Amino acid sequence: MSTAPGVVDLATRRAALPDWPQGWYVVARASDLPPRGVRTARIAGHDIVLFRTAQGVLGALDAHCPHMGAHLGRGRVDGEHLECALHCWRLATDGGVCGRDQRTRAWPVREHAGLVMLEAGQGRMVPEAGGEDFDWTRATLLEIDTPWHGLVANGFDMVHLCTVHRRDLLETPRVTTEPGKRCTLHYVSRVRGNEWSDRLMRWLSRDRIDVRVHCYGPVTTVETDLGFTRTSACIGMTPAGAGTRLFVSFGVRRGPFRRLRLALTRALFTAFLRRDLGVVEGMKLRTDVDDAILQKLFEFLRTLRPVRPVAGE
Ligand code: FES
Ligand SMILES: [Fe+2]
């Protein structure tokens, strides 16, 4: 049976969302990977070693040594190379092996918003939070028993803005999609609640909060314009069992009272997010909900191709 144009049929609404879509993943806090630091990550079954050279260049390589397969997470950084602990082969950030015509897979990696991000896939849109002139807090790390799609959906759920966050919309929210790249929600709200964070937000914003939420897949950014200042949050999500591992960093524009503004931004965002975490824990997301904005988001998520599985799996 055909469906009228613009109406999403039930089977499509119930279609699964990709667990590991291609895109950029947050794999560490930048501060947890100082020069000569080594860490490990696992993305869609791929074991990856992360390191930072003595001069500060980031590297991300397949974790098993191209020689005999030792785990490079046991290695050490020597100058600009990662040295395998077993027979001391030396690997460069581009995956090349010193003195040999051999190489291993190098993953694109970058530092942004105080976070280390790695690209699984190819040519995916690079998440941008804040701007060149932003300073960032040390990221908060959380684990929550909710699939990451449920957390992204929360950011696009305009009904819970009223029921959970006690905010009222001042304008009709707008959602736009750049297929395969990102989905953006723009809304303007005012504060209705009366807790300390509500009262402070009402005073700071003069009761007009302009918010843009950008979903790039496993990374979501939130840009908040309070008129006299802008703040930003960058949220990285990775599936962890049935739940999600979250990295959240907060940013403000460089300028006077930087520390105070960073502390205030972190406190207000955290108070906002705490309300979410208290209610979405244990959620099993249903995608057949009758909500045009959420349907746009789910449609976008379904356009993201999954990360290619590990060879042999
Ligand atoms: S296993 Fe790494 S150098 Fe031999
Ligand atoms: Fe929320």
Which atom belonging to ligand 1 lies closest to the Cα atom of 87?
3
Ligand 1 pocket: which of 61, 76, 89 to mutate (most atoms <8 Å of CB)? 89
Burial of 7 (0-12, 13-18, 19+ CB in 10 A): exposed
Report yes or no: 273 and 250 within 8 Å, Cβ to Cβ: no
Two tokens at 122? Answer: 């190819």
Q: Is 64 in the pocket of ligand 1 (CB under 6 A)?
A: no
pTM of the model: 0.92
Two tokens at 168? Answer: 């009222």
φ, ψ dihedrals at 205, nearest 5°? -90, -5
- Say how far apart CA 76 and CA 98 lie, in whole Å: 15
Cα(72) to centroid(ligand 1), Å: 9
- Range list of β-strands (E), 146-303: 167-169, 174-178, 182-191, 209-215, 219-225, 230-240, 243-253
Among the residues of 118-174, which ranges form H helices?
148-155, 158-163
Q: Which of 127, 140, 118 is nearest to 47 (CA)?
A: 118
Ligand sitting nearest the alpha carbon of 102:
1
Q: Is 44 in the pocket of ligand 1 (CB under 6 A)?
A: no
Two tokens at 177? Answer: 């999609």
Q: Is 68 in the pocket of ligand 1 (CB under 6 A)?
A: yes
- Say how far apart CA 233 and CA 77 lie, in whole Å: 32
Q: Which domains does the chain have, with CATH numbers?
A: 23-120 (2.102.10.10), 134-302 (3.90.380.10)
Two tokens at 243? Answer: 């739940």
- Say how far apart CA 284 and CA 211 lie, in whole Å: 26
Per-residue tens of pLDDT for the chain, all 313 residues:
444 555 567 677 777 899 999 999 999 999 999 999 999 999 999 999 999 999 999 999 999 999 999 999 999 999 999 999 999 999 999 999 999 999 999 999 999 999 999 999 888 899 999 988 999 999 999 999 999 999 999 999 999 999 999 999 999 999 999 988 999 999 999 999 999 999 999 998 999 999 999 999 999 999 999 888 899 999 999 999 889 999 999 999 998 888 898 999 999 999 999 999 889 999 999 999 999 999 999 999 999 999 987 776 5
Q: Which of 107, 115, 57 is nearest to 245 (CA)?
A: 115
